[in-house]
């Protein structure tokens, strides 16, 4: 890894690619160009090896086993929690709960906290940018408990309407649940300011960091958030693993989301008591290999350095926006202000359905996303149903952007 970092602090994405077996593939006879990182990132060999090594050398269930394999597996799985805690600046690794993904983490909060703490007339504030996973659970509570969902909108540049925030934050606001970075517009929201405003009315704050945590440093103590969720597969980890960070006193007070083995302290036929954190919320046999793989992904990101990743991604983003803006038939959404952005560009080619755009790009070995990106309310706000989307990460290069643009020109020529 150290050979990948240049003296300037930048790194060579072509060398980075050597760490990712998938880039040895050819798609339709062409080298793979992967521009779908907002959906999921590719996995470095170190992550794949960590999972393979666990199953080959250490496979056993964790906790309570006294034999060597169980002890080793327990230590490796707990170490993964510690790596994630260090990664986001959490003071105690026991405040990190592993889930299947960010979606399950939000549901854990909706059921474990919301179901028992929200009552009719209470309000939850979200934004129009939210992924469906940060809308639907609160709609469930609205229908079940009679809470109200308020929505902070955006302006024509794709930025949140912060002037409307004071009117939406009232003594009835019990939770602000919002996305850190939009998976459609790329906009990085000013969450520290919003957290400070929310605290003035006594509201808790949940941050969905799925789109930001692989790309920029995050410190939960500096932000002052109460909860933060993320998915491992968007940060070069395996699928089926994610996490939630929560303030200890809140996690101690909340009810479990799932009930059964390992989340208990003592069980009688009359009643049960709950295990200590984080196991209180990790019922049953967990995704041990996935947790270890997530820890390896954190190691990989830390070795490169998030500041280096962010700098590289910003260079690729600026280059892509500059090249795409040369053509008036490419309509770009967002990126119209000076707000901070991650490497996500949603666009449409005039007169061409996004699925056709994605299909032709695939013929050239270029993987992009097309659809509503699990953000249909935002799509409606933008007066559309679907977009194409390119999203960048450590292994992408300016040369790949050039090849993508060349193909888009062919798309426009073919469809007229």
Shared-domain flag, residues 285 and 258: yes
Q: What parts of the chain have a pLDDT lower than 70?
A: 1-10
Classify residue 42: in a domain, yes or no: no
Helix (H, G, I), strand (E, B) or coil at 382: coil
44 domain residue, yes or no: no
β-strand partners of 242: 99, 231
* Same-domain status, 80 and 219: yes
DSSP readout, 128-169? TT--GGGTHHHHHHHHHH--EEEEE-B-TTS-B-GGGHHHH-
Tell me the pTM. Answer: 0.95
Residues 156 and 204 in one domain: yes
Copy the structure tokens of residue 142: 């609205």
pLDDT at 323: 97
Among 257, 309, 248, which Cα is nearest to 283's?
A: 257
Q: 39-93, pLDDT tens digit by residue? A: 999 999 999 999 999 999 999 999 988 999 999 999 999 999 999 999 999 999 9
Query: Do 31 and 112 share a domain, yes or no?
Result: no
One domain, residues 184 and 231: yes
Structural domain contains residue 159: yes
Q: Which domain holds residue 344?
A: 2-37+306-415
Q: Is the domain of 55 the same as that of 202? A: yes
C-alpha distance from residue 231 to each of 104, 211, 399 (Å): 9, 9, 29
Whether residues 251 and 313 share a domain: the answer is no
Among the listed residues 90, 374, 394, 411, the single catalytic one is 374
Q: Which two tokens stand for residue 164?
A: 């409307």
Q: What does DSSP assign to residue 72?
A: H
Q: What is d(CA 66, CA 132) in angstroms, rounded to the nearest whole number?
A: 43
**Last residue of some domain: 286, 302, 318?**
302
Please give the pLDDT value at position 104: 98
Name the nearest CA neighbour of 177 among 164, 187, 168, 186: 168
Residues 100 and 223 in one domain: yes
How far is it, in rounded angstroms, from Cα 70 to Cα 180?
38
Residues 100 and 171 in one domain: yes
Residue 43 lies in a domain: no
The H or E element that residue 107 is part of is helix 102-109
Structural domain count, the chain:
2
Q: Is 393 domain-assigned?
A: yes
Domain end call among 251, 284, 302 = 302
Is 101 in the same domain as 158?
A: yes
Is residue 363 situated within a structural domain?
yes
374 is catalytic: yes
Q: Are residues 281 and 311 in the same domain?
A: no
Q: Check which CATH number belongs to the domain holding 362 and give it.
A: 3.90.1150.10
């Amino acid at each position: 890894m150290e050979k990948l970092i240049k003296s300037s602090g930048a790194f060579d994405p072509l060398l980075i690619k050597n760490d990712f077996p998938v880039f040895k593939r050819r798609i339709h006879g062409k080298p793979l160009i992967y521009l779908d990182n907002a959906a999921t990132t590719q996995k470095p060999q170190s992550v794949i090896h960590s999972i393979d090594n666990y199953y080959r050398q250490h496979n056993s269930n964790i906790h309570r086993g006294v034999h060597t394999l169980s002890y080793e597996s327990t230590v490796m799985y707990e170490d993964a929690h510690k790596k994630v805690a260090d990664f986001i600046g959490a003071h105690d690794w026991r405040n990190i709960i592993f889930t299947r993904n960010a979606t399950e983490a939000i549901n854990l909060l909706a059921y474990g906290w919301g179901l028992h703490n929200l009552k009719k007339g209470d309000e939850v504030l979200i934004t129009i940018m939210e992924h469906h996973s940060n809308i639907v659970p609160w709609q469930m509570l609205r229908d079940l408990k009679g809470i109200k969902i308020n929505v902070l909108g955006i302006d024509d540049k794709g930025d949140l309407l912060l002037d409307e925030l004071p009117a939406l934050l009232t003594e009835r606001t019990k939770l602000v649940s919002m996305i850190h970075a939009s998976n459609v517009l790329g906009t990085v929201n000013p969450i520290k300011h919003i957290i400070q405003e929310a605290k003035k009315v006594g509201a808790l704050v949940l941050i969905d960091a799925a789109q930001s945590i692989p790309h920029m440093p995050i410190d939960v103590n500096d932000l002052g958030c109460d909860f933060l969720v993320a998915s491992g597969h968007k940060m070069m980890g395996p699928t089926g693993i994610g996490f939630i960070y929560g303030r200890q006193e809140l996690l101690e007070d909340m009810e479990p989301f799932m009930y059964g083995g390992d989340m208990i302290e003592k069980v009688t036929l009359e009643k049960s008591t709950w295990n200590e954190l984080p196991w209180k919320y990790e019922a049953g046999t967990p995704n041990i290999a996935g947790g270890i793989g997530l820890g390896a992904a954190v190691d990989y990101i830390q070795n490169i350095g998030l500041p280096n990743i962010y700098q590289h991604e910003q260079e690729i983003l600026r280059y892509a926006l500059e090249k795409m803006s040369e053509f008036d038939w490419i309509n770009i959404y967002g990126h119209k202000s000076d707000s901070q952005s991650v490497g996500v560009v949603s666009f449409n080619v005039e007169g061409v359905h996004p699925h056709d755009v994605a299909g032709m790009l695939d013929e050239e070995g270029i993987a992009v996303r097309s659809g509503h990106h699990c953000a249909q309310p935002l799509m409606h706000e933008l007066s559309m149903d679907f977009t194409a989307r390119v999203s960048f990460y450590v292994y992408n290069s300016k040369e790949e952007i050039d090849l993508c643009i060349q193909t888009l020109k062919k798309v426009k020529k073919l469809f007229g």
